Amino acid sequence: MELHADLSQRALHDTNALAWMPSPMAGVEWCMLDRRGDEVARATSIVRYMPGSRLERPVHGGGEEILVLAGVFQDNQGTYPAGSWLRNPPGSVHRPWSEAGCTIWVKTGHLPNTQGPDGSDA
């Protein structure tokens, strides 16, 4: 799938007018802003967690960045209120959820793997 995948071109969305699409997990939905790829993709989305919803352990081969726009986002490493920014490196795994519900901006698949084969910085 490709949506605004040409990074040499300007893209613009009125995010208030985008349709929310259900994710494979109940209570989690998203609006895609850009995407290049299918199951594993470079993608930018706005994701909404209904209270008590969670995702199964996503693996981020190309890393992930998250900005919490509203509510409180959580994962197995902490609790992040609105305004929090997180970066998970390539190959990272976490268990995201939200007890209270939240809206986050997420970018995945865009970070280069800078580690050598032994896990040290290359």
Tens of pLDDT, residue by residue over 5-28, are 777 888 888 888 888 988 888 899
DSSP character for 20? P
- What is the predicted pLDDT for the residue at 59? 60
What is the residue range of 87's domain?
19-108
Of 12, 19, 14, nearest to 34 by C-alpha is 12
The reply to whether 113 falls in a domain is no
Q: How many domains does the chain have?
A: 1
- What is the predicted pLDDT for the residue at 115? 53
- What is the predicted pLDDT for the residue at 117? 44
The reply to whether 27 falls in a domain is yes
Residue 116 has pLDDT above 60, yes or no: no
Tens digit of each residue's pLDDT (9 = 90 or more) over 50-107: 999 988 766 656 788 999 999 999 998 999 999 999 998 888 777 899 999 999 999 9
- Here the tokens at position 81 are 């209120």
The reply to whether 92 falls in a domain is yes
> What is the pLDDT averaged over residues 27-33?
90
The reply to whether 69 falls in a domain is yes
The phi and psi torsions of 32 (rounded to 5 degrees) equal -85, 135
The reply to whether 77 falls in a domain is yes
Model-level pTM?
Answer: 0.82
Q: Tell me, what CATH number does 91's domain have?
A: 2.60.120.10
